[in-house]
Structure 1
Amino acid sequence: MNERYDFIITGAGPTGLAAAITAGRLGASCIVLEKGCRPGPEPRGESIAQYELMDELLGRDWLKNNASNDPSFRRFHSPMDRKNTLIDVHKPYYFFHWRHLMDHMKALAIEAGAKFLFESEVLDLIEEGKCCTGIKYKDKQNHIHEIKGTTVLGCMGHKDPLGKKFGIIREKIDCPTIKYYTTHAPRVNISEHPNLQFYMIPPKMLEIAPNLPPAVAYVFPLADGEMEAGLMLRLGQLNSIKNIEIPDDNLMHKVWDHLTQRYPGFSEFFKGAQTNYKKLTVISNRQLFKNIIPHERGGLILLGDTIGFSEANGSSGLYFGMAQADFWVRLILKRRKIQSDIWSENFAATARNDYQKGSVYKYIKKSYRDIVLAEKIMFKFCGSDRLLNRWWKPLMALLQMKS
């Protein structure tokens, strides 16, 4: 492939698709490589808050018109569901189907002029003179190809081989997570439980897993009889709480089965439910990797879940990856108007500085600081069933103040 692109985008998730939409609409050439046969193959639900960028990217009120539920509150449950508190998050969180979003974003990217290469596995970078100038990939016939471009955007998430090349240690960024989806849950009733439900599980509380780190189980109802649910380990205090350790895959599934069958409150949603989808994966929100332009003269920018760029409490990570992609595409194209050789001189250093001054980066950085403090208070200082329930009311008052 001899054609040269303004943007080579690796990964057709929300971050990569947002980059393709913005780039195409601004007149830049781009190509998106995706290992799978389509964007986002998993059949699951999702949630995202409304921001101005969502209307710009997806079309005015697309989220609102395609949402099955849009609560503005979250209900937090104390250990063993002894207490619960409704927290106002001051904006609706739209619940929708993942497949609808992925298909819509792909169509918008194609409409904007983006090209796609599916079933194409990114293998490595092309590097010339301390700069990234393209990528090597393997097609479905196992043939190796090269693509050259001005800027490579690494958007392949927690399995991104480009991130590993530059020292991103996934164990420092990812939190093991089970994601579950069902369209057959007779106990899920929107009129009774419209809000996202969080169940706080302090460290070492479950007899089935006495060394389990802090965890949060969650349910969000998509419609009557339909929900996404999951279990996410919270590992921010892993090194400061004694005698806890990350469970292996087998134990994670045992914990999940225990919670869905026996845990007070949480298990009620699963009575009579039939599983459509269950997967042990990760959420990349434990640590933010900062060196997102690893080459001295630039050319490669690592984005989204690859670097842990999501809201640290696990909510609406989709938006922030999409906003980050939009920011970088616009910054690169603004530079192109000034200088055709975009990555010459010291642009990499200037670009990093502009990025760190941006509102989206500052918000994500603050969310990491806030979650460290919240988890230290909740899971270290009040790190037991008894103490969390005892201090539940002031803890929830603090959480409401921060929301």
Structure 2
Amino acid sequence: MIYDFIFAGAGPAGLTGAILAARQGKRCLLIEKKSSLDLHPRGETLRHRPILDEVLGEGVMASLTIASTTMIEYFAPLPHEADPIILDMKVPNHSFEWHEWMQAFQKQVQGLSIDLKLGAEVIDVTKESGRVTGVKYLDADGSEASAAADAVFASDGHGSLIGRKLGVDYTGINYPIVKSKFGNARFDSPGFKFFFLPEGSMDFAPDFPPALAFLFPREGSSCEVGLAVMARAALKLGYELPDPEELLQVFEQATKRHPVMSNMLAEASADLVEATMLPMGGPMEEVIPQAGVVLLGDAAGFVEISGGSGLISSMESAKFWVNLMIGQQAKAGKQENLWSKSSIQAMTEAYTSSGIFRHNKAIADGSNVSWDYVFTNLRTSQNIIKKWGLIANALDIF
């Protein structure tokens, strides 16, 4: 089967791209290795943007929102005591259930020219004359199949299989993180809570690299809780990044022994705990690793830890690339012209000069500068406390 576009991965990027392309008459193949789009019980958070109404329908996000807040609190590193930094971000962060969000996407897929293959897994790309022409995949029944398209969008998440097969290095881009969902927690404000964990600040894990823990209240007494290793700072300081087992062990200890977190979670129980990776190192400029392929979503980098920026940027970037590719199809006439060197250069320049890329890069650069200053330059709890007022001002500006 020959398609206009193949989307390898049915997360927000792949779904957005396929929906918007199909609405413009393009035939799309959407491959997802999970057997259902809404299996995952996790919670998520984001700030509202017009792309949500465009893709899912006006008012859908409002109907899915279970809690919202504009407040963010930053807690000083141990063992020192200092008043939390409390900021009002003005624009609210909205919490929702992932499976309900995926169901909203799936409703939009119905009736469109999208061939959705659930329980199927991309295993390789097909090539011709140095250009990627399609993918090989295992269907839900285990049989091997292949499909061709004018363009393959690798929307298969952090550490993309397609990206890695085409030589993309995700070192320093992906940050190890634990994400969890707790019930029966206790917190006295609805604000997002972040906990600075510089090197040497956790007596239960003295050799652990610098990290940032977080607790996001949701409806009632439920919350998201997590711990992200600040990989960029850790690598600069000479640390090896922890494996999932070590990460989960330190996370468990942090929830039980950090004085503030443990108090909030004293009677709480976890519904979900998972170790994964988030591409928080910044957006890639080169998202066409080889003619025929465009990296989308987490496969192309950039998730900012607070406010679901990665979800929004994934959707906005998918829209940008689908519209750009459709325009290039019309200009090129022939597939070989679509992926000529001059065409790839023009598309890359259009992307890196776009408002979407520049906005995401500005956020990522600002975030990296801030966290580098805290975790690499100041480095220790004592030094961070000395500059606590300066950090408060910087976070307020950022």
TM-score bracket, normalised by the shorter chain, equals over 0.9
* Alpha-carbon offset, residue 106 of structure 1: 1.7
Matches of 1:312 and 1:342, distance apart in 2 = 39
- Which amino acid in the other structure matches residue 38 of structure 1? S
26, 42, 52: which one aligns with 2:40: 42
Alignment of 1:1-400 (within 5 A): 3-39=1-37, 41-80=39-78, 82-182=82-182, 184-188=183-187, 192-241=188-237, 244-295=239-290, 298-311=291-304, 315-344=308-337, 345=340, 346-400=342-396
Please give the secondary structure, in 2, of the residue aligned with 1:70: strand
Unaligned runs of 5+ residues in structure 1 are none
Matches of 1:401 and 1:288, distance apart in 2 = 22
Q: Deviations over 1:114-150 (max 9, x none)?
A: 2201111101111112222111111133211110111
- Structure 2 contact 46–307 (Cα < 8 Å) conserved: no
Unaligned runs of 5+ residues in structure 2 are none
Q: Deviations over 1:173-208 (max 9, x none)?
A: 2111111112x31425xxx32111111111121122
Of 388-397 and 247-256, more deviation after overlay is shown by 247-256
Matches of 2:106 and 2:12, distance apart in 1 = 9
Please give the secondary structure, in 2, of the residue aligned with 1:170: coil
* Alpha-carbon offset, residue 352 of structure 1: 0.6
Q: Deviations over 1:216-247 (max 9, x none)?
A: 111111111211111101111223325x4323
Matches of 2:244 and 2:126, distance apart in 1 = 36
Matches of 1:205 and 1:82, distance apart in 2 = 15
Of 275-284 and 137-146, more deviation after overlay is shown by 137-146
Q: TM-score, normalised by structure 2?
A: 0.93
Matches of 1:83 and 1:245, distance apart in 2 = 32
Please give the secondary structure, in 1, of the residue aligned with 2:246: helix
* Alpha-carbon offset, residue 343 of structure 1: 4.9
Please give the secondary structure, in 1, of the residue aligned with 2:158: helix
Please give the secondary structure, in 2, of the residue aligned with 1:135: strand
- Structure 1 contact 303–309 (Cα < 8 Å) conserved: no
Matches of 1:352 and 1:341, distance apart in 2 = 19
- Structure 1 contact 211–245 (Cα < 8 Å) conserved: no
Q: TM-score, normalised by structure 1?
A: 0.92
Judged with a 3 Å threshold, the aligned counterparts in structure 2 of structure 1 residues 4 and 249 are, in CA distance, closer, same or farther, namely closer
Matches of 1:53 and 1:272, distance apart in 2 = 39
Judged with a 3 Å threshold, the aligned counterparts in structure 2 of structure 1 residues 248 and 335 are, in CA distance, closer, same or farther, namely closer
Judged with a 3 Å threshold, the aligned counterparts in structure 2 of structure 1 residues 240 and 137 are, in CA distance, closer, same or farther, namely closer
- Structure 2 contact 281–302 (Cα < 8 Å) conserved: no
Please give the secondary structure, in 2, of the residue aligned with 1:147: strand
Matches of 2:285 and 2:219, distance apart in 1 = 38
Matches of 1:77 and 1:301, distance apart in 2 = 40
